[in-house]
Structure 1
Amino acid sequence: MKYLFLLGTALAASATLATPAQADEAALDNIVVTATRTETPTSEIGQSVSVVTREDIERTQAVTATDILARLPGVTFTQSGGFGQPASVFIRGAENSQSLVLIDGVRINDPGDVGGGFDFGSLTVGQFDRIEVVRGSSGVLWGSRAIGGVINLITARPTDEWTARGQAEYGWRDQKQLGASAAGKVGPVGLTLGGNWLKGDGYSAFDERIGGREKDGFESKSANARAEVQLVEGLSADAGAYWTKANYDYDNTGADALNVGMKRDTVGYANLRYKGLDGRLTARLGYGLTDTRRISDDAVFGPFTTNGRNDRFEGQVSYTPVEMVSLLVGAETEKQKFSDNYGSKDSTSIDSYFGMLTLRPVTGLTLNGGLRYDDNSDFGHKTTFSANGAWVIGGGENAPILRASYGEGFKAPSLYQLYTNAGFRALDPETSKSWDVGVEQPFAQGHGTFSVTYFDRKTKNLIDYDLAAFNYYNVGRARAQGVELGMQVIDWEGFDMSLSATYLDATNEITGARLARRPKTNLYASLDKRWAQGFRLGADLRVGGGRYDDVANTYFLEGNVVVGLRAAYDVTRNIQVYGRVDNLFDEHYEVVRTYGTPGRAAYAGVRVKM
């Protein structure tokens, strides 16, 4: 009853907040980059997009990237234990490896990962200023791995005046966190610098409630840097780097174990940018590097080490000859390398060309259509198509926005799947076709939005793992369809509100079985209130549906209901103290069979801004 009461309170609050109110200024239209590779208002984007700001990260007191991503419509995740343990993010039921992950626009998917995906298990969120998530196939603009969507984690841009912030936090099982960043100018050069440190005793990856006793601790260090300089009028250069290293303990599936792991990610990039013709022409030449090293050191069998590297050169030009028409064209070349300590070593390359045409035939209507040509050195060439549109119906501040999109995807097997697959390399590339349609309704004079979206994706040759044959194989056909609900209210008479709910039907169409670890239903709701005196109080409610843990649908994991509370107080304009209690009612649940999840935990910290 207490969970139903909290949920009812959240929904009642959302109905109250939907009443129009006097606003100082509209909180929307957001400008995003990830959906179109150029700066575009969300009202002109036909795909479903979520934007997480620095204020959202601080308000929710999030520590890891999964803390934030799990709050968004259509997004779920699983993790095999605590911090550092493998974590997968599913966008609309797509495999973790079918979603592209970026840091400052640079691909960080690991060629050494099982499916060429990104392991979110040790990614902290303290250094990021903004996160953009595009749901639905984005393969035409972003290429392979963007079947499910794109996640772009963006660090802060340099500012004209120097600013700085710092954070210190302490809590459950001796978890400590320190973070700091600064941005400003040294002469003509704009700089951003940041770092984060996180360490704790953790909890047993093997579920403590079924016998786990040994705590699996962790330590994470990360740093980022960015520099920008204006060379001449209209021509600028920027370069940056992101580095993180995590050490952690982990267990086997059925017992405690003295296993240790390490994951190190290095990202680097450099760009030359041009902007001219009164902003109607933009161009970019760029290079991006991702280098990842992972060590899983089993206490009995010894270490398994993988190394993945991705080098990428790309260029693009965007031109708007008249207000009604824009054209984006680009080319990319990418080389992936993979090796392990058991003799596997190989590489592959992809050359790509893409184009996107945007039309604005009448006020409020935007239509986008694009093509992409990929030439994979191992699997040949493939052409994919996409189209989407957004229509602001009637115009005006509270006009609804109708969105629709169609996209195709193409993803070759990963180097890991090919060269660690017990000699079986007859894997076919994954292909997909997806579409969605939805409507977004602003309310409260720009302080709030409500959206509902239906999506459907069909995938051929989905690559999965056969536990009986101990190798990877192609699933003939898979389908994921469902409905997403989303609502967000920002600063309405001191209230902030978020609501996301997802219904997902993800199945293997050959066997009829549900895809493993995808819950059918998922709901997240939060309500925050701020007072003029500087005090803030908030609550979270997360309702996760049940899921099967295996492809044969043999092991079913029950759903869960998790409640959190948080508070913050502005001591001065520049100093804030805060605290939170996660899993308030100490809910016992698993999202991966035999692996534990955190119980009730409390944390407190301080933030300083200058």
Structure 2
Amino acid sequence: MKYLFMLATALTMAPVAQAEEMAPADGGRSDIVVTATREPTPLTQVGQSVSVVTRDEIERVQAISATDVLSRLPGSSVVQSGGFGQPSSVFIRGAENAQSLVLIDGVRINDPGDVGGGFDFGALPIAQFDRVEVVRGASGVLWGSRAVGGVINLITAEPTEEWSARGQAEYGWRDRRQANVSASGLVGPVGVVLGANWMKGDGFSAFNERRGGTEKDGFESRNANARLSLELAPGLSADAGGFYTKANYDYDASGADALHVGLKRDTLGYANLRYADAAGRLSARFGYGLNDTRRVSDDAVFGPYETNGRTERLEAQASFTPLEMASLLVGGETEKQTFDDNYGAGDSTRINSIFGNLTLRPLSGLTLNGGLRYDDSSDFGDRTTFAANGAWVLGEGEEAAVLRASYGEAFKAPSLYQLYTNAGFRNLDPETSTSWDVGLEQPFAQGTGRFTLTYFDRRTRNLIDYDLANWNYYNVGRARAKGLELGMQVTDWEGFDVNLAYTYLDATNAITGTQLARRPQNNVYASIDKTWEMGLKLGADLRVGGGRYDDTANTLYVTGHAVVGIRAAYPLTDMVEVYGRIENLLDEHYEVVRNYGTPGRSAYAGIRVTI
């Protein structure tokens, strides 16, 4: 009865809109974030460690895929079994790929048909996104299941009052071609955003060509996105949108070339009703989100394995600020997931949730947050999680330091694949974690630069593993991940842009003492770009990946690597820019997954048009 009362209260206070904000209300400023608190918040009031990547940064480094962007951030490492289209995982602070929540415009895109319920980043381009926000550390109170390592939110553009458009075309190594277009503006009272991206290439052998792979594993990717918004009355608005991606690709086994082919298809849709009062003290949102996935792995010998997943969510939340020094966020959610495969396995599961978060500003520059969440699952029962964090601005002015600290609890519900494949339903408990971190941010160079240093520690229990003897999943594992993150960003300081991200990670199996597979202890990304008055832009970057074990027993070791890239861009007119880059300039021979290839020296050139 208590649960029903709290849920009814949340829904009554939030008659409009969806639980997630789409993007900052100020048009995308990097000092306003939404993912950490589920509503637009100045970064100086956020107690968790957050990274923000803007459209300008994406274009400056000439990023093509989502993993190009994520691999540049502190605490994040990327592992891909070959080239574009191949399986790709992102580990945040050493957490499993399936232990991070992935969003597009605030809507969950983790695949219900995936083995662990994670998201495969291998075929996701970055061209259609204007902004990426990454929250590191447990975020279970506000985001629920899977937000163990953190939350990744990929945000598309918002409608603008005047029509604008951009287009891009690129060609390069192994006959890789890419083209994308996007436009936004008003059609009468309706705000419209449209975008599309296409990419195709011969690729390279997923089985390492330097180990004998000769057959190229090509790919083709097609993507589209749309968003509509309408103001219904003063303070009341509605919006709806969607994102579609489909990729066909060839892939290999781990020990030899193979004529395997795969398919990945994701369809996402959402609709929201929003309200905000004129005084800025009350805002509310109610919405519906849908994610539908299809995966096909067609083995040349054994035939296809197909999975279909579907997630539907109803969400509501309200934020009330009765006093300048205090605000309260409450919300409720209900989520249903379904899964089936072509071998007859499949079923559904549901989670109902309520959450609340209290924000206090007792002193100038000090922000404190504390929250609770209650989840009731049809498969594992109920669970309550707690979180608290704070941010303290030490001084005044644009170079005032910010001290941050956070504690968070999170869980990952068993996936439908783990629950229902092979031997039918099995009783699994959720994986649970507790984590804390403390960090310091020091702005410099008249506020154009930002230096961050963060220490983190996370313990995870009830990890789900596979029993090869009994052919089923069971709870057995415990893990600990601790380390240090260092970041430095300089934006447009006398024409220079600088980025540095270093992570030291000690991620171990708490039972055996071995290192977790495919997690490098040391990971470095550094870049520098210079823009001259004539418009010429030159840049270079360095990626250093430390050695890592490729298996849980720590018997297979993959050595580290260092990869250098250079790039240039030049504006022909105010609207037209040409650019080019050379990746892996020194033709480094390396692997990040044992036996799987990585690209050698490769060159690309393109043109951008902005109207």
Q: TM-score, normalising length from structure 2? A: 0.94
In structure 1, the residue matched to 2:24 is none
1:70-469 aligned within 5 A: 70-423=71-424, 425-465=426-466
The Cα of 1:470 is off from its aligned counterpart by: 5.2
Return closer, same or farther for 1:80/1:473 CA change in 2, 3 Å cut-off: farther
Return closer, same or farther for 1:162/1:277 CA change in 2, 3 Å cut-off: closer
- Conserved? CA contact 1:109–1:118, under 8 Å: yes
The Cα of 1:312 is off from its aligned counterpart by: 0.2
**Number of residue-to-residue matches in the alignment:** 584
Aligned partner of residue 142 in structure 2, secondary structure: helix
In structure 1, the residue matched to 2:3 is none
The residue identity in structure 2 corresponding to 1:101 is V
1: CA distance, partners of 2:425 / 2:320? 47
In structure 2, the residue matched to 1:14 is none
- Conserved? CA contact 1:475–1:508, under 8 Å: no
2: CA distance, partners of 1:504 / 1:333? 35
In structure 1, the residue matched to 2:494 is 493
In structure 1, the residue matched to 2:484 is 483
2: CA distance, partners of 1:481 / 1:346? 36
- Which stretch shifts more, 271-280 or 374-383? 271-280
- Conserved? CA contact 2:464–2:477, under 8 Å: no
1:497-512 aligned within 5 A: 497-512=498-513
- Which stretch shifts more, 274-283 or 350-359? 274-283
Q: Percent identity?
A: 73
1: CA distance, partners of 2:468 / 2:497? 46
The Cα of 1:429 is off from its aligned counterpart by: 1.2
The Cα of 1:371 is off from its aligned counterpart by: 0.1
The Cα of 1:440 is off from its aligned counterpart by: 0.1
2: CA distance, partners of 1:426 / 1:380? 11
- Conserved? CA contact 2:85–2:249, under 8 Å: yes
The residue identity in structure 2 corresponding to 1:581 is I
The Cα of 1:428 is off from its aligned counterpart by: 2.3
The Cα of 1:465 is off from its aligned counterpart by: 3.9
- Conserved? CA contact 1:28–1:447, under 8 Å: no
1: CA distance, partners of 2:540 / 2:171? 20
The residue identity in structure 1 corresponding to 2:546 is G
Deviations 1:533-587 (A, max 9, x none): 0100000000000111111111010001000000000111110000000001111
The Cα of 1:277 is off from its aligned counterpart by: 4.4
The Cα of 1:133 is off from its aligned counterpart by: 0.3
1: CA distance, partners of 2:465 / 2:109? 22
- Conserved? CA contact 1:28–1:446, under 8 Å: no
2: CA distance, partners of 1:149 / 1:411? 12
2: CA distance, partners of 1:28 / 1:225? 22
The Cα of 1:395 is off from its aligned counterpart by: 2.1
- Conserved? CA contact 2:488–2:500, under 8 Å: yes
- Conserved? CA contact 1:421–1:472, under 8 Å: no
The Cα of 1:412 is off from its aligned counterpart by: 1.6
The residue identity in structure 2 corresponding to 1:524 is Y
Deviations 1:162-184 (A, max 9, x none): 00000000000000000000000
Deviations 1:204-245 (A, max 9, x none): 000000000000000000000000000000000000000000
In structure 2, the residue matched to 1:22 is none
The residue identity in structure 1 corresponding to 2:408 is G
The Cα of 1:424 is off from its aligned counterpart by: 7.5
In structure 2, the residue matched to 1:586 is 587
In structure 2, the residue matched to 1:15 is none
- Conserved? CA contact 2:311–2:337, under 8 Å: yes
The residue identity in structure 2 corresponding to 1:583 is N
1:41-52 aligned within 5 A: 41-52=42-53
1: CA distance, partners of 2:268 / 2:131? 17
2: CA distance, partners of 1:465 / 1:175? 39
Aligned partner of residue 76 in structure 1, secondary structure: strand
- Which stretch shifts more, 405-414 or 435-444? 405-414
The Cα of 1:464 is off from its aligned counterpart by: 3.2
Aligned partner of residue 598 in structure 1, secondary structure: coil
- Conserved? CA contact 2:346–2:421, under 8 Å: no
Aligned partner of residue 56 in structure 1, secondary structure: helix
2: CA distance, partners of 1:93 / 1:472? 22
2: CA distance, partners of 1:550 / 1:428? 25
Aligned partner of residue 586 in structure 2, secondary structure: coil
Aligned partner of residue 445 in structure 1, secondary structure: coil
The Cα of 1:279 is off from its aligned counterpart by: 1.2
Return closer, same or farther for 1:464/1:521 CA change in 2, 3 Å cut-off: farther
In structure 2, the residue matched to 1:4 is none
The Cα of 1:116 is off from its aligned counterpart by: 0.4
- Conserved? CA contact 2:30–2:53, under 8 Å: no
Deviations 1:482-527 (A, max 9, x none): 0000000000000000000000000011100111111100000000
The residue identity in structure 2 corresponding to 1:295 is V
The residue identity in structure 2 corresponding to 1:385 is F
1: CA distance, partners of 2:514 / 2:466? 15
Aligned partner of residue 446 in structure 2, secondary structure: helix
1: CA distance, partners of 2:421 / 2:587? 41
The residue identity in structure 2 corresponding to 1:416 is Y
- Conserved? CA contact 1:99–1:149, under 8 Å: yes
2: CA distance, partners of 1:468 / 1:527? 52
Q: TM-score, normalising length from structure 1? A: 0.94
The residue identity in structure 2 corresponding to 1:425 is R
1:33 aligns with 2:22: no
Return closer, same or farther for 1:603/1:319 CA change in 2, 3 Å cut-off: same
Aligned partner of residue 66 in structure 1, secondary structure: helix
In structure 1, the residue matched to 2:542 is 541
- Conserved? CA contact 2:235–2:278, under 8 Å: no
The Cα of 1:359 is off from its aligned counterpart by: 0.1
Return closer, same or farther for 1:466/1:492 CA change in 2, 3 Å cut-off: farther
- Which stretch shifts more, 342-351 or 455-464? 455-464
The residue identity in structure 2 corresponding to 1:357 is L
Deviations 1:331-363 (A, max 9, x none): 000000000000001000000000000000010
- Conserved? CA contact 2:346–2:417, under 8 Å: no
The residue identity in structure 2 corresponding to 1:170 is Y
Aligned partner of residue 446 in structure 1, secondary structure: coil
Deviations 1:68-122 (A, max 9, x none): 0000000001111111111010000000001000000000001101100100010
- Conserved? CA contact 1:29–1:43, under 8 Å: no
Structure 1 unaligned blocks of 5 or more: 1-26
2: CA distance, partners of 1:132 / 1:475? 33
- Conserved? CA contact 1:482–1:503, under 8 Å: yes
Aligned partner of residue 425 in structure 1, secondary structure: coil
Return closer, same or farther for 1:465/1:521 CA change in 2, 3 Å cut-off: farther
The residue identity in structure 2 corresponding to 1:561 is A
The residue identity in structure 2 corresponding to 1:80 is S
Aligned partner of residue 438 in structure 1, secondary structure: strand
2: CA distance, partners of 1:545 / 1:190? 47
Aligned partner of residue 183 in structure 1, secondary structure: strand
The Cα of 1:28 is off from its aligned counterpart by: 7.8
The Cα of 1:125 is off from its aligned counterpart by: 0.3
The Cα of 1:275 is off from its aligned counterpart by: 0.4
The residue identity in structure 2 corresponding to 1:86 is P
2: CA distance, partners of 1:98 / 1:464? 14
1: CA distance, partners of 2:88 / 2:580? 26
2: CA distance, partners of 1:412 / 1:186? 43
1: CA distance, partners of 2:516 / 2:31? 34
